Amino acid sequence: MAKRTTGLRFQPSGGSRASALPVGKKQALSIERLAGDGRGIAFFEGRTWFVHGALAGEQVEARVLGSHGKVVEARAERIAQPSPLRRPAPCAHAGTCGGCSVQHLPHGEQLGLKQGQLAEQLRRVAGAEPERWAAPLVSPEFGYRRRARVAVRWDARQQRLEVGFRAAGSQAIVALSQCPVLVQPLQTILLELPRVLSGMSKPQAIGHVELFHGSASAVLVRHVGPLPEADLAALAQWCAALPAQLWLQGEGPAQPHEAGAQLGFTLAPWNLSLNYRPGDFVQVNEQVNTAMVAQALEWLAPQPGERVLDLFCGLGNFSLPLARLAREVVAVEGVQAMVERAQGNAETNGLGNVQVHRADLFEPLHGAPWAAGGFDAVLLDPPRDGAFETVRGLSSLGARRVVYVSCNPATLARDTVELLQQGYRLKCAGVLDMFPQTSHVEAMALFEKSTDARAM
């Protein structure tokens, strides 16, 4: 998670060091505003309080989760005076499960919070405002999540297996009776999972479980010790009845229980099917992913005679649709297994105009053989750390159009500074609501360089 820079009212340096507040202490607070991540902010007796589950304008009773200096982390235990915006949390586990932190806000307000966080980062860090704001890309606010990681822990003292999601602000595991953000097939699997795992003869061998849904549903069982044959047979029988593929992972990569099983997803507008394996990065929200790819292609506007570069290409989520439009796509990825997966996906879909290369994209691009000849357009989709070293060399590639897909507005804003210095203009930006009910912000930005600037 990006380091928060809040600009809040801390005491000046040189004063006495504040003593830590005891965990569990309760305090009545007036919430003044929201932080970028959706927590309420209050000020009391010289301390700044970040309160999970609170909204601006509310009077709450908060319980201390931890404190450091004059900053206190807390959770709203009771809402004495609610905000008019507050809605009843749709999930029964709100406030205990750590997965959905802002579901007490209507979805439209969630989008506004995310839009504000993106705009604030661009303005404060880069001094930039896009020439045009794009409407947020959205999906249904529930039933959207097509993968999930389920925590599993054997309690030796109680002699029982805990199965669920991590609690908010702790390592405790919350047993779930529902999870409305999962796609329906995974909701069914999640609710049956505790019974199936608890019935195993050696449940302490289970490390965690991951669930996937695409061209098929899949259950990945990560085990920290050998699974008895009877337990393996029970898992296989349960998965067959669901139906779902069973995948197993011990010390090495994940492997299907039945040889030849394939997991994938489609990009229907471009008649593409992409295969992946558990452990590969796949966007969690199918509808927003499809809309995101469509918007990226619209903004980048690749022409039939153009050469396009896709950095951090992963499975080929952008590369393959780009190849439907451009003369040639050069796709670059840092992980060899993903390079092989992207190349395989290109071949499976009959796309001979895609080249896939492996490179360390956290190093400068200068001298990379695949960059020779330059590009008309560039798309990049880096991880949370952004792509500072990569964007430093973009201008030398000759691209007039750059689409930057970001999962961290802070690093997008930092990299925007570098692109502006190279003569690019921030033409358009917008939010991608990949994770409704959370404060997580994904975004897309279009940068363009004029013909005159390109020639400089």
Q: Which residues are catalytic?
A: 407
Q: Which contiguous run of DSSP H or E holds residue 297?
A: helix 286-300
The number of residues making up the chain comes to 456
Q: Which residues make beta-bridge pairs with 354?
A: 329
The Cα–Cα gap between 211 and 254 comes to: 13
Tokens of 178: 């529902």
Question: Is the Cα torsion angle 410, 380, 364, 399 positive or negative in sign?
Answer: negative
Closest by CA to 2, choosing from 386, 446, 445, is 386
Name the one residue in this structure whose structure tokens are 């099917």. 273
Task: Please list, residue by residue across 305-333, b when 16 or more beta carbons sit within 10 angstroms of its beta carbon and e when fewer do.
Answer: ebbbbbbbbbbbbbbbbbbbbbebbbbbb
The Cα–Cα gap between 409 and 122 comes to: 8
Closest by CA to 299, choosing from 384, 355, 411, 378, is 378
Closest by CA to 29, choosing from 18, 42, 13, 12, is 42
Q: Are 404 and 415 in contact (CB under 8 A)?
A: yes
